[in-house]
Structure 1
Amino acid sequence: MFPSLTTCFLHERSARMLTLLIILFLVGLLILVVTIKQPFLQLNGYLIVSLFFVLLVIGLNIFHFTTAIAILVLMLVLIIWLLLGLVGLIRRTPQLLAKLNFKFKLALFIATVWFIIASFFIFLILFNLVNFTAVFLWLIFIPVYFILALLAYYVNSFLLTRSFKSPITNQILLILGAGLFDGKHPGSELKRRLNKAIQLSQLADRVAIIVSGGQGLDEQRSEASAMKEYLIEHQVMAQKITIEDQSKNTWKNLVNSQQIILHHFDDKRSIAVISNQYHLLRVCLYAQKLHFKVEPIGVTSDYQLYPSASIRELISILLLHPYRHCLMAIILAIIISLV
């Protein structure tokens, strides 16, 4: 009796190890396929997602029920996060919601509905209230990838905000615009960016500042002009400030500012871009796409903005390569359903 039990245990352990090795190989192959010729930040994000995924699979193999409960809890937390994000967009930043394109709004709506449905079915499966074949099970686990992507977004953003090391001596500070309060003056989030630039500009005389932001439909002036006025009111010399007031979004902020730097700054200065911490990852991804070498400087934000801001940023990042992320979500969901 005892030898047979030992043999069964060893066979079961070997099967688990083999499963893990196969999964590690498939994940490594997946990383290799999707990150060929991709910027380091994207590779970093995929690696973080893959690391979380490997830990998840190990947990499912060793602590099956506990890990499944953890997945369900994370999905419920993310549903609350999505709903808070939607409420935040509608109540706190209605002008931002109006600016979002249809594809973004549709992605946000589908994600919320899918997470609610998937959480409900995972709950039923967990307590043996319903059984699904593997053919349908992988559909339920697709949202798991996006949970891991959100965790990777936070880790990547955290690492990115701590990467700034260059001394502020002969530098260009690029301040990205944000919505104006009452359509005329910098709001609280924009003031945080401007205050950081004021602090850094006081450390060296040769610092140049570019303020970037056009005029929104709900604004009575360009964001750049309001930013310049604020800086001058806080003892920054006007001749240090260059205005870029034609951009309507983050991508145009960087495109237009890059052109200004190429045409008006001949010396090879390092360029530091200042924005809120939740925004920096997307900024740097855009900059890498433009071959625009920038160093990120992050500023803190009102904690109440984080649900709407982080969800908005994550979806914007995912929509840079939607088909690739959908493919990865499907592959990882199939692997989980087979485990």
Structure 2
Amino acid sequence: MIVKLIKYGLVLIFTYFVITNIVIYLYSKQNPAPDADTLVVLGAQVVGTPAVPHYSLAQRLDIAFDYLQHNPRTKVIVCGGQGKNESATEASVMAQYLIHKGIDPKRVYQEDKSTRTAQQFVYANRVLPLGKTVVVTNDFHILRSLMLAKRSGFNEISGLSAPLGWENGDKYIALIREPLALANSWLFDHPNND
């Protein structure tokens, strides 16, 4: 009896991971709304001193840059506070990256207090009212980000995903980590939990 329960449990867990990763993949393929009021780029790790974006964050910023080039009316809010092992806030590093690439500094706003995805939309809206919003993050992270944005009351939102390649191993980690993070966010991450 115990062995059967373990087998059923393993089958259910495997099924959850497969279905969740399929849904995550499908969400990553959506098209962002054109001419958004605001582009929100979610933070991720910065490394070194002086700090530079980690590979996955640079991917997000490059995709954001392309969108901003094609939508000159859109403002951008870069999000992310300073982690324990970071020499600067993620937002400050992201802002410098976009400005260095040629985005007008007047279009770039920084939200530098958040430490979790669930906080970033609420805090970004305090910096600048979001309006019609496109959220930029890596492909595996779009589904959870949109869920948290809608839970925070932002319904006029779409996603723009930055592809995360297989070459550095991050994609393999995301296949395991993101379904767990999605379940955790669904159960525990609420806007009033900051």
TM-score over 0.5 (shorter chain): yes
Given candidates 37, 52, 55, the residue that maps to 1:171 is 37
Q: Provide, for residues 196-252 of structure 1, a one-character-per-residue CA deviation record: whole Å limited to 9, x for no partner.
A: 111111112211000000000101110000001011110000000010000111111
Relative to structure 1, is the Cα distance of residues 195 and 317 closer, same or farther in structure 2, using a 3 angstrom cutoff?
Answer: same
**Aligned-partner SS, 2:5:** helix
Whether 1:210 and 2:72 are equivalent positions in the alignment is: no
Residue type of the alignment partner of 1:161: S
Relative to structure 1, is the Cα distance of residues 320 and 206 closer, same or farther in structure 2, using a 3 angstrom cutoff?
Answer: closer
> What is the CA-CA distance between 1:291 and the residue it aligns to?
2.0
> What is the CA-CA distance between 1:259 and the residue it aligns to?
2.9
TM-score normalised per structure 1: 0.51
Whether 1:180 and 2:36 are equivalent positions in the alignment is: no
Relative to structure 1, is the Cα distance of residues 287 and 321 closer, same or farther in structure 2, using a 3 angstrom cutoff?
Answer: closer
Whether 1:191 and 2:54 are equivalent positions in the alignment is: no
Given candidates 18, 28, 41, the residue that maps to 1:151 is 18
C-alpha separation between the residues in 2 aligned to 1:320 and 1:225? 26
The question of whether the paired residues in 2 share the 8 Å contact of 1:258 and 1:292 is answered with no
C-alpha separation between the residues in 2 aligned to 1:289 and 1:235? 34
Q: Which runs of 5+ in 1 are unaligned?
A: 1-132, 323-339
C-alpha separation between the residues in 2 aligned to 1:306 and 1:316? 14
Given candidates 285, 294, 297, the residue that maps to 2:147 is 285
Given candidates 139, 143, 150, the residue that maps to 2:6 is 139
C-alpha separation between the residues in 2 aligned to 1:138 and 1:282? 30
C-alpha separation between the residues in 2 aligned to 1:165 and 1:182? 32
TM-score normalised per structure 2: 0.87
Which residue pairs with 1:41 in the alignment?
Answer: none
Q: Provide, for residues 36-84 of structure 1, a one-character-per-residue CA deviation record: whole Å limited to 9, x for no partner.
A: xxxxxxxxxxxxxxxxxxxxxxxxxxxxxxxxxxxxxxxxxxxxxxxxx
**Aligned-partner SS, 1:206:** coil
C-alpha separation between the residues in 2 aligned to 1:320 and 1:197? 25
C-alpha separation between the residues in 2 aligned to 1:288 and 1:229? 29
Considering fraction of residues, name the structure with more strand. 2
Which residue pairs with 1:258 in the alignment?
Answer: 125
Residue type of the alignment partner of 1:271: T
> What is the CA-CA distance between 1:191 and the residue it aligns to?
0.7
Which residue pairs with 1:297 in the alignment?
Answer: 160
Residue-pair matches, total:
183
Whether 1:230 and 2:97 are equivalent positions in the alignment is: yes
Overall identity of the aligned pairs, in %: 24
**Aligned-partner SS, 2:38:** strand
Q: Which runs of 5+ in 2 are unaligned?
A: 188-194
Q: Which has the higher contact order (CA 8 A, sep 6+)?
A: 2
Q: Provide, for residues 256-282 of structure 1, a one-character-per-residue CA deviation record: whole Å limited to 9, x for no partner.
A: 1133333xx6xxx41000000111121
Which residue pairs with 1:271 in the alignment?
Answer: 133
Considering fraction of residues, name the structure with more helix. 1
Compute the RMSD of aligned alpha carbons.
Answer: 1.8
C-alpha separation between the residues in 2 aligned to 1:247 and 1:320? 15
Q: What are the residue-to-residue correspondences of 1:44-193 with 2, within 5 Å? A: 133=1, 136-167=3-34, 169-182=35-48, 184-193=51-60
Residue type of the alignment partner of 1:319: N
The question of whether the paired residues in 2 share the 8 Å contact of 1:244 and 1:256 is answered with yes
Residue type of the alignment partner of 2:145: V
The question of whether the paired residues in 2 share the 8 Å contact of 1:157 and 1:280 is answered with yes
Relative to structure 1, is the Cα distance of residues 248 and 165 closer, same or farther in structure 2, using a 3 angstrom cutoff?
Answer: closer
Residue type of the alignment partner of 1:180: V
